[in-house]
A and B are shown apart, each in its own frame.
Chain A
């Protein structure tokens, strides 16, 4: 398998991986709760590409059967990713709802500020 390895053949994977790394970086490094969720979104989206890209066949067409075509791209990854997208948006909605509640309770959406506030029991509003 390693002999057929070429740079061009794996280009899509590299794009995917770049997006993935960037997304993960945003999630871990950023302290802003909304920004973290955006990063999470990017991270998840990059996975979609990881699934979908290998299913494509050059010269193939979308997997909607008709007599005019014989080569189709693989439909199974599409199905999986449809599910994954939905799961992703569900998580996102929940995360945002939590963010809103946190902002109401702490008046901040910066992670370190919130953690500081809990460390000091006498609650100092508006650092």
Chain B
């Protein structure tokens, strides 16, 4: 028996089994150790899987040894292995950071449960990325969502509760829509396996239930990924959640939802179905642009940094969807690239904000006045990540925007190029708000002068900021994987 053969199952099962262990131990240090071990193992596994897929193509793993359409299949292809690396990597970086971060923000008694929820959330997200079964996606989606609701509600402010409740309602409606969509597809094809479904769907292409399923899945997933008009839950949720949670969610949760969308569009429906039958392309383009402008513009007028960057996330999701709407390999590459690059950038920003909150006692713009003097390194990190959000060369954000522009040029749509650049100006505006407060205002006097950043928080944050720069300079891994995944998806049908 070779262990390597079972990596797909272990990828999800190790964090999953870590969760009950943390509950049994009921001790926060031990729980932390277990969670850390599990997420680092998961990260190692995901890298191994990525290498395997890179070397020898898609891996299929039949759980319970039942052949695919009858049992549940795990399927690791270029796209999902890329997602696995992103999700487990982010978890591995954020988790060490959690320990000191939640010390301040979550009641002590709850700490071991915090780790339980964290690994469960990780499990869910990994499970979604790896599974080859439509209904299984729903089950793991719910694991991660339920864990997310709790994580958000653990925030210090009482508004965290309301934010969590709203997210619960929206999220459940979204999930139910997804179930309806899957149900309609199942009724038409008689199967739940994604690959099998895609093949059998060809026979009934364009029929009404299939179109309705497409609509339901799109709306349901859009709720989850906070596409522009359905984003209302996101700013509150990110603002009031504990900082470590905001960082992890911003970097992964919406990104995995995008993954689900891609999975259904390209592996189940096939692009001709999605873009041929309905005016999906135009609709997505419109929503993406609306999101880019409306959300970024709203971000400029926020007075709290966490909220500001939460709105910026909604705007950035616009870019991601924009790439999708081009319906071309280069557009899709840009989508997947931005998924990754924006994930690490936003993760870094929320981790930095966590440091700010710890030292300055809050993240409102008036609180961070003079941050440049008080916390020079942190402010510097913020500026770097801000540049990445804008898309300045030398940062990760530039790479994905560059590919997005290339994709737009390929379509010959000059006005889009103009719009993308214009919306980047909005990003300049909201990042400037931070810079102005941090560097051009006098420091406040009422800040605790002794508060320092513990190294367990500083190091992971620095690592992620460095990654933002690294992936802006060395693009082999990201662009390579993204274009491979994009080609794979476009060629799948």
Docked Cα-Cα span, A84 to B180, in Å, equals 11
Interface pair B173/A43, CB less than 8 Å apart: yes
Residues 28 to 77 of chain A near chain B (Cβ within 8 Å) = 33, 36, 40, 43-44, 47, 50-51, 54, 76-77
**In the assembled complex, B159 has its CB within 8 A of some CB on chain A:** yes
A83 partner, pick from B135, B150, B158, B162, beta carbons under 8 A: B135
Docked Cα-Cα span, A36 to B427, in Å, equals 37
Interface pair A95/B142, CB less than 8 Å apart: no
A91 partner, pick from B146, B153, B159, B161, beta carbons under 8 A: B146
User: What distance in Å separates the Cβ of A114 from its nearest Cβ neighbour in chain B?
Assistant: 6
Interface pair A95/B173, CB less than 8 Å apart: no
Q: Give the most central of B149, B161, B207: most A CB within 10 Å.
A: B161
Interface pair A94/B150, CB less than 8 Å apart: yes
A94 partner, pick from B138, B149, B176, B187, beta carbons under 8 A: B149
Q: How many residues of A contact B (CB 8 A)?
A: 32
What string of 1s and 0s marks CB contacts (under 8 Å) between A91-127 and chain B? Answer: 1001100110110011000000011001000000000
Nearest residue, chain B, Cβ from A106: B158
User: What distance in Å separates the Cβ of B428 from its nearest Cβ neighbour in chain A?
Assistant: 30
Question: What DSSP secondary structure best describes chain B's contact surface?
Answer: helix
**In the assembled complex, B409 has its CB within 8 A of some CB on chain A:** no
- A98 and B168 contact, Cβ closer than 8 Å, known pairs A47-B180, A47-B183, A91-B142: yes
User: What distance in Å separates the Cβ of B111 from its nearest Cβ neighbour in chain A?
Assistant: 18
Q: How many residues of B contact A (CB 8 A)?
A: 26
What string of 1s and 0s marks CB contacts (under 8 Å) between B129-170 and chain A? Answer: 000000100110010001001100100001101101100110
Interface pair B169/A51, CB less than 8 Å apart: no
Interface pair B180/A98, CB less than 8 Å apart: no
Contacts of B176 in A (CB 8 A): 43-44, 47
**In the assembled complex, B172 has its CB within 8 A of some CB on chain A:** yes
Interface pair A95/B207, CB less than 8 Å apart: no
User: What distance in Å separates the Cβ of A125 from its nearest Cβ neighbour in chain B?
Assistant: 13
Nearest residue, chain B, Cβ from A101: B161
Interface pair B135/A80, CB less than 8 Å apart: yes
- A118 and B162 contact, Cβ closer than 8 Å, known pairs A47-B180, A47-B183, A91-B146: yes
A98 partner, pick from B135, B139, B164, beta carbons under 8 A: B164
Contacts of B12 in A (CB 8 A): none
Interface pair B161/A105, CB less than 8 Å apart: yes
User: What distance in Å separates the Cβ of B137 from its nearest Cβ neighbour in chain A?
Assistant: 12
Interface pair A51/B183, CB less than 8 Å apart: yes
Interface pair A91/B135, CB less than 8 Å apart: no
User: What distance in Å separates the Cβ of A23 from its nearest Cβ neighbour in chain B?
Assistant: 9
Interface pair B165/A102, CB less than 8 Å apart: yes
Docked Cα-Cα span, A90 to B171, in Å, equals 14
**In the assembled complex, B358 has its CB within 8 A of some CB on chain A:** no
B173 partner, pick from A40, A50, A118, beta carbons under 8 A: A40
**In the assembled complex, B179 has its CB within 8 A of some CB on chain A:** yes
A54 partner, pick from B161, B162, B187, beta carbons under 8 A: B187
A95 partner, pick from B159, B162, B168, beta carbons under 8 A: B168
Nearest residue, chain A, Cβ from B135: A80
Contacts of A44 in B (CB 8 A): 172, 176
User: What distance in Å separates the Cβ of A37 from its nearest Cβ neighbour in chain B?
Assistant: 8
B161 partner, pick from A40, A77, A80, A102, beta carbons under 8 A: A102
Contacts of A98 in B (CB 8 A): 149, 153, 161, 164-165, 168
The 15 listed contacts between A and B (C-beta, < 8 Å) are A24-B173, A27-B173, A36-B169, A43-B176, A47-B176, A47-B179, A47-B180, A51-B186, A76-B192, A91-B146, A98-B149, A98-B165, A98-B168, A99-B165, A118-B162
Q: Which of B's residues lie within 8 Å of A, judged by CB?
A: 135, 138-139, 142, 146, 149-150, 153, 158-159, 161-162, 164-165, 168-169, 172-173, 176, 179-180, 183, 186-187, 192, 207
- What 11 additional pairs, Cβ within 8 angstroms, besides A43-B173, A47-B180, A99-B165? A1-B207, A20-B180, A40-B172, A80-B186, A80-B192, A83-B135, A90-B146, A94-B146, A94-B168, A98-B161, A98-B165
The 6 closest A-B pairs by CB, nearest first: A105-B158, A98-B165, A87-B142, A102-B161, A101-B161, A51-B183
